[in-house]
């Protein structure tokens, strides 16, 4: 049993995924929308575990994901406690930054209040397929993959009545530098998420 309730720690073993009873796929589709009204109420580790698994956790013995991924997806979460990286294989979070960067990440104020901002990234150096440039390039593919993860976040949020929005209008240079991204490692979308007002 994991008694820890916040993201204060450096290394966090998340509780096993356990969705609330009676979640409805129909309700998720029916209620899916971009919602920017967010309170500062923090999520429990159970909620974070569920949310990250819905985004792109591992759902099969072969290690594949709830999202259709051609390459590894890198997921970080920014909170008042700093930034943690999600380890989907071990269902863990590892802190990579002590600083609370939420208020400096984006150009829209509602983001500052979000208890969590999920940062979705792909390392384009992992993309070695020779057809990539012919078919749209690395950023095109990384962006498409990121959209699938984003939609999973939207649907889970809608199913449990919380607010989220996909955002590309954010300070990508600041975020990528703060997270220590080098080479082809880049963020593509951020997702503030919180309880609605």
Ligand X SMILES: Cc1cc2nc3c(=O)[nH]c(=O)nc-3n(C[C@H](O)[C@H](O)[C@H](O)COP(=O)(O)O)c2cc1C
Contact footprint for ligand X (CB under 6 A): 33-34, 108, 165-169
User: Token match 């939609």: residue?
Assistant: 151
**Residue 40 Cβ vs ligand X, minimum distance, rounded to whole Å:** 19
Q: List residues bridging with 83 in a β-sheet.
A: 78, 97
**Residue 165 Cβ vs ligand X, minimum distance, rounded to whole Å:** 5
Which residues in 60-99 are b (16+ Cβ under 10 Å) and which e?
Answer: eeeeebbbeeebebbbbbbbebbbbbbbbeebebebebee
5 or 34: CB nearest ligand X: 34
**Residue 16 Cβ vs ligand X, minimum distance, rounded to whole Å:** 31
Element (H, E) at 122: strand 116-123
142 or 167: CB nearest ligand X: 167
4 or 168: CB nearest ligand X: 168
**Residue 129 Cβ vs ligand X, minimum distance, rounded to whole Å:** 23
Degrees to nearest 5, angle at CA 164 with 160 and 166: 135
In the β-sheet with 73-79, what is the strand arrangement from edge to edge?
11-13, 92-97, 82-87, 73-79, 116-123, 185-195, 162-164
Please choose, from the candidates 160, 157, 167, the residue with its C-alpha nearest in 3D space to the C-alpha of residue 119: 167
**Residue 181 Cβ vs ligand X, minimum distance, rounded to whole Å:** 19
33 or 40: CB nearest ligand X: 33
33 or 99: CB nearest ligand X: 33
């Amino acid at each position: 049993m994991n008694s820890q309730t916040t993201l204060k720690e450096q290394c966090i073993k998340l509780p096993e995924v356990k969705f609330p009873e009676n979640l409805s796929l129909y309700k998720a589709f029916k209620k899916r929308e971009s919602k920017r009204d967010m309170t500062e109420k923090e999520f429990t580790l159970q909620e974070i575990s569920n949310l990250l698994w819905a985004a792109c956790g591992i759902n099969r013995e072969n290690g594949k994901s709830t999202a259709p991924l051609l390459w590894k997806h890198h997921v970080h979460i920014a909170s008042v406690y700093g930034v943690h990286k999600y380890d989907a294989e071990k269902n863990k979070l590892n802190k990579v930054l002590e600083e609370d960067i939420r208020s400096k990440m984006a150009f829209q104020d509602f983001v500052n209040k979000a208890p969590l901002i999920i940062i979705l990234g792909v390392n384009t150096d992992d993309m070695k397929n020779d057809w990539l440039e012919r078919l749209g390039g690395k950023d095109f593919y990384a962006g498409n993959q990121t959209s699938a993860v984003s939609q999973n976040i939207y649907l889970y949020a809608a199913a449990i009545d919380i607010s989220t929005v996909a955002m590309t209008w954010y300070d990508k240079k600041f975020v990528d530098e703060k997270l220590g991204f080098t080479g082809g490692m880049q963020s593509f979308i951020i997702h503030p998420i919180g309880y609605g007002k």
